[in-house]
Amino acid sequence: MKYRKFGKLDWEVSALGFGAMRLPITGDIPAAGNPDINEPEAIRMIRHSIDQGVNYLDTAYPYHGGKSEVVVGNALKDGYREKIKLATKMPSWFIQEYGDFDKYLNEQLGKLQTDHIDFYLLHGQNKQHWPKLRDLDVLKWAEKTIADGRIRHLGFSFHDDLDMFKQIVDAYDQWTFCQIQYNFMDIEYQAGTKGLQYAAEKGLAVVIMEPLRGGQLSKEPPESVKEIWKRSSIKRSPADWALQWLWNQPEVSVVLSGMAAMQQVIENIASAEHAAIGSLGDKDLALIDEARNQYRKLSPIPCTSCEYCMPCPNGVNIPHAFRYYNDAMMYDDPRTARFRYRQEAKEAWADNCIECLECEEKCPQEIPVAEWLKKAHEYLGPRKKA
């Protein structure tokens, strides 16, 4: 296993971290969601990873309907807790008052069967969650909790735009780390490359989530992308290309992978053995740029997310609707796109469009926005009952 600097800490983190959001499950996913975790297999996978040198394990309060932390706690018995740094996340959306900070942390400590969390994150920070937690004095609480030893380091995970990311980074000079969605397709999405570099320049360790876009970049690629990878003198799997692109960057501290099968653990550990800053040459990086452009050519809607169409007077999040629709087509993955679309507030769904066409007048790509919004919602929205 290769190891890397973790921000300003005098500690090195494994290039690969184990993400406990997609643990193996038993049977099919029920209609109500939250299937049972295959606990024996999950424990076997987690312990194998640690035995192979993984020293960063990430979970969160809501993962697997609240069951992930319990399974992780069981996996870390028999001396495994002492071999890793444990990260979990405060459920930001449940916090209503100051006392909730202790309430949820203490519950998490019990589920994880530990007296401290090494890396505690404020989960899913954005324009809604951050002001609420900030105004409830979460930073004051965190400093008290670090002093009493229940958490060792404070950070945040993030889902919003670059300006909001910079605001949160700059709001507190004691952040140890942050966690962002980042992969070779999402270089300008949310925090993106600029956010990665901004946080690293401030001395924060940067933890990467969604390195494979929920598995989309590890699937068999379309023929046009496959032909690009074939031109490389070094043969890599699609997943390995995506992981090596991340590890090539000095600002990346650790790459989390949500692994659902032992074979994925084995393959990702093998990839991590080759993780190195600057390991990709100009030709490799050019191929990745070409693959990104080819994926984007598969998008039916020529939206560049410039947001000139926003705000919509009827509340529709036009760029998000278009992004999810394009993702479904690019990666042949309607299930993930539909899930993400339906996670949006219903007020932002495309069916709220009343065809005022104000957006079309502003669109530099001259997209027939109203027409595409109809198609997007018909494809991504809930199925109509017969």
Q: What is the CATH number of domain 3-288?
A: 3.20.20.100
| Domains of the chain, residue spans | 3-288, 318-380
Cα distances from 115 to residues 67, 123, 152, in angstroms, run: 19, 20, 11
Using an 8 Å Cβ cutoff, are 70 and 111 in contact?
Answer: yes
Q: Quick one: pLDDT at residue 208?
A: 98
Whether the ω angle into residue 311 lies within 30 degrees of 0, i.e. cis, is yes
Neighbours of 115 (CB within 10 A): 9
Average pLDDT over residues 336-358: 94
Give me the pLDDT at residue 29, please: 52
Q: Is a pLDDT exceeding 90 seen at residue 299? A: no
pLDDT in tens, 124-169: 999 999 999 999 999 999 999 999 999 999 999 999 999 999 999 9
Q: Which of 177, 246, 256 is nearest to 214 (CA)?
A: 256
3-state DSSP of 117-136: EEEEEEEEECCCHHHHHHHC
**pLDDT of amino acid 30:** 46
Rounded alpha-carbon distances, angstroms, from residue 142 to 6, 93, 171, 217: 20, 17, 14, 36
CB under 8 Å to 68, separation ≥6 — which residues? 20, 21, 23, 37, 59, 60
Length of the chain: 386
- pLDDT per residue as tens digits for the range 201-229: 999 999 999 999 888 899 889 899 999 99
Task: Give the Cα separation of 142 and 117 in Å (integer).
Answer: 12
What local confidence, expressed as pLDDT, does residue 34 receive?
62
pLDDT > 70: what percent of the chain?
97
DSSP 41: H
